[in-house]
Structure 1
Amino acid sequence: AGISIGMVSEGERYVLLTDIIGEEDFHGDMDFKVAGTTNGITGIQLDMKARGIVQSRVVESLEQARKARGVILDAMTAVIDTPREELSEFAPRMLTIKIDPDKIGKVIGPGGKMIKKIQEETEATIDIEDDGTIFIACKGPGGQAALEKIKGITEDAEIGKTYAGKIVSIRDFGAFVEILPGTEGLCHVSELSMDYVENVDDVCKVGDEMEVKVIGIDDQGKVKVSRKAVLDPNWNPPPPRARSGGRPRGGGGRGR
């Protein structure tokens, strides 16, 4: 709680005022704001119009502020004696996240499309600094939802991690699964099932949700995923076969 102590003085005569109003502040010589708890002071601000103030008046002001603060705290305790375990759903919140500055463009999107979409869906206000610091202001759960969306957009795929993805396209050699916003991984037809798969359409369709594990990321950032690795935790991807001349096979085996 906080209280403002004012002072009106003339020569050696003075009076200290508790909880001053605008007129007293305008005509007075001091505005001494003191905030704190029952245990002590947490912050002060002193505005003076007089040329100075003697120590005894500072001590007297602090004591007067302590007594007034106690009255306010007692009134507050009578209404609620312990802090709420959770913030009210109507309380404003400010969340912060730091991302790689090189990924700011992914969060903003072409013409601001992505950031506008996040703000519309979560009713949060998002501000991005050049150093990658993102401030999310909101009321209610929308801020956390916006934070999770930004994490998803800027997250990098990790080898060995399982993702709940969605099939976004199908080819004769496998299915492309969106494991993170804007990040797709190829699940080769040989990685779709523990059984032989002749047609990818027999296992999945566009729009289907599928759990997959990342089993490889090449130098160009292309991601390889496997459904087999999810179906059988003990399964391990086979080592790459060598081309003629002893060079390893690359490209994730997209051809059949």
Structure 2
Amino acid sequence: MDFKVGGTKRGITAIQMDIKIDGLTYDIIEEAFEKCRKARLFILDEIMLKAIAEPREQLSQYAPKMVSFMIDVEKIRDVIGKGGKVIQDICAKCNCKIDVEEDGRVSITAVDRDDLNRAVSIVRMIVEDPEVGAIYKGRVTRLMNFGAFVEIAPGKEGLVHISKLDSKRVERVEDVVAVGDELIVKVVEIDQQGRINLSRKDALADMAKRQAEREAGE
């Protein structure tokens, strides 16, 4: 008889048993359960408890970390991307594994806590609609004579007009930024077509103001 039992001091939590039960009586099964109980308690008390008296306060740095949260099912396609491009890029950049269920549950697993937090942040930015007044860290994707386009989340891009690129007057966009640069920008407007207008000038001013307030409070 192939019979495996797992559990805790409080009782059995898992059983595996084959279906070849010819010749088995209730007495034999009862005896098997009793032997399993004694063996389980012996292993827990005499072996495991002596090796680990209590649960570790922190997981090993090499143990996988996982976070699960729900998103709007309508946003699933945005997280996955065409042909899986978006989710694959996140996994590659953050050294993580992402599972998305049909009900909108997202599970992200990574060994490094920083990688995990970065992946969670990216996914949340994808599914959350930009808000006027919010500040983002984005990447310059295109330069035009009138400004620079900045991606604040995968698939979400806004325009920083040349007048909003810096606190001082800017003659040429390329004098201030280049494609691939990372910028701190503030959402100043979302028009009726859903186009996002950004401002680096306002973001820098807000950051300077907060810094001054912190220094004044010290």
TM-score by length of 2: 0.70
The 3-state SS of whatever aligns with 2:85 is helix
Task: Mark the runs of 5 or more structure 2 residues left unpaired by the alignment.
Answer: 209-218
The runs of 5 or more residues in structure 1 that have no matched partner are 1-20, 26-30, 236-256
Which residue among 111, 132, 138 is the counterpart of 1:159? 132
Which range is displaced more, 166-175 or 66-75? Answer: 66-75
TM-score (norm 1): 0.61
Tell me what 2:56 maps to: 84
Distance, in Å, in 2 between the alignment partners of 1:165 and 1:108 is 20
Q: Tell me by how many angstroms 1:43 deviates.
A: 4.2
Write out per-residue CA displacement over residues 100-130 of structure 1, whole angstroms, 9 at most, x where no aligned residue: 2222222222222223333444554433322
Task: Deviation per CA, 1:71-121: give whole Å up to 9, x if none.
Answer: 322321221223223333554555423222222222222222223333444
What's 2:7 paired with? 35
- Residue of structure 1 equivalent to 2:76: 104
Q: Within 5 A, what are the aligned runs for 1:69-148?
A: 69-74=40-45, 75-92=47-64, 94-122=66-94, 124-136=96-108, 138=109, 140-141=111-112, 144=116, 145-148=118-121
| Secondary structure of 1:165 counterpart | strand
**Which deviations, in whole Å up to 9, do the C-alpha atoms of 1:224-252 show, x marking residues without a partner?**
111222222399xxxxxxxxxxxxxxxxx
| 2:193 maps to which of 220, 223, 232 | 220
1:4-40 deviation per Cα after TM superposition (whole angstroms, max 9, x unaligned): xxxxxxxxxxxxxxxxx73xx4xxxxx8x56234xx4
- Distance, in Å, in 1 between the alignment partners of 2:63 and 2:175 is 50
- Do 1:90 and 1:139's aligned partners in 2 also have CA atoms closer than 8 Å? no
Could you say which structure has the greater relative contact order, defined with CA pairs below 8 angstroms and 6 or more residues apart?
2
Alpha-carbon shift at residue 176 of structure 1 (Å):
1.5
d(CA) in 2 for partners of 1:191 and 1:105?
Answer: 32
Matched pairs, number? 200
SS in 2 for 1:204: coil
CA distance in structure 1 between the partners assigned to 2:90 and 2:204 by the alignment: 34
Q: Distance in 2 between matches of 1:150 and 1:110?
A: 15
Instruction: Name the structure 2 match of 1:181.
Output: 154
Contact 1:98/1:132, CA 8 A, preserved across alignment: yes
CA distance in 1, matches of 2:36, 2:52: 22
C-alpha contact 1:189 1:200 (8 A) present in aligned 2: yes
Which one has the largest radius of gyration?
A: 1
Aligned identity (percent) is 40
- Are the aligned partners of 2:135 and 2:186 in contact in 1 as well (CA < 8 Å)? yes
CA distance in 2, matches of 1:44, 1:130: 28
**RMSD, aligned α-carbons:** 3.6
Q: In structure 1, what is the Cα distance between the partners aligned to 2:207 and 2:121?
A: 31
